[in-house]
Homo-oligomer: A and B are copies of this chain.
Amino acid sequence: MINSRLAVSVHILALIATHPGQALSSEYIAGSVNTNPVVIRRLTGLLRQAGLLQTVAGKTGATLTKDPAAITLLMVYRAVEPKETLFSMHDRPNPACPVGRNIQSTLDDTFVRAQQALEAELEVETLSDVIHRLASAR
């Protein structure tokens, strides 16, 4: 199961995008997400490193550096997900066995395709899409 960092990060970005001109503190955001402010600051740190938002240490608030329509969920996912590969493989299968010797490279093909299919879906969805769906659900 993939961690909840993508979900929380989208929540954070959606809050910022829907409150233009308002400086939202990590504590305020944490109240909406229902978590600890430090969790929010850790994620905004990663989002800042990825160039998705800007903050000033000591100053309340964060601002998006791109238009919500230009921020894909894949960008957010990549920003906060430390692991590059989605599927794990068992290590050191027996090289003396024809199956063990080639299973990793063989499975890797499949796993890469599956991961790319997932990422392609995250890439076609933008923060703007999320915000519109949030609004229509209201």
Q: Provide the bound-state CA to CA distance between A15 and B92, in Å.
A: 16
Is A90 close to B, CB under 8 A? Answer: yes
In the complex, the answer to whether B99 meets A134 with C-beta atoms within 8 Å is yes
Q: Provide the bound-state CA to CA distance between A2 and B110, in Å.
A: 14
In the complex, the answer to whether A93 meets B4 with C-beta atoms within 8 Å is no
List of B residues within 8 angstroms of A8 by Cβ: 90
Consensus secondary structure, chain A interface = helix
List of B residues within 8 angstroms of A120 by Cβ: 117
List of B residues within 8 angstroms of A57 by Cβ: none
Known contacts A11-B100, A31-B94, A130 near B118 by CB under 8 Å = no
Known contacts A31-B94, A110-B121, A105 near B137 by CB under 8 Å = yes
In the complex, the answer to whether B3 meets A88 with C-beta atoms within 8 Å is yes
Is A125 close to B, CB under 8 A? Answer: yes
Copy number in this complex?
2
In the complex, the answer to whether A117 meets B106 with C-beta atoms within 8 Å is no
A-B contact pairs, 9 of them (CB 8 A): A4-B88, A7-B103, A11-B90, A11-B99, A14-B99, A15-B99, A107-B130, A109-B133, A114-B122
Contacting residues of chain A (26-84) with chain B, CB-CB under 8 angstroms: 31-35, 73, 83
Choose among B7, B91, B107 the residue that contacts A107 (Cβ–Cβ < 8 A). Answer: B7
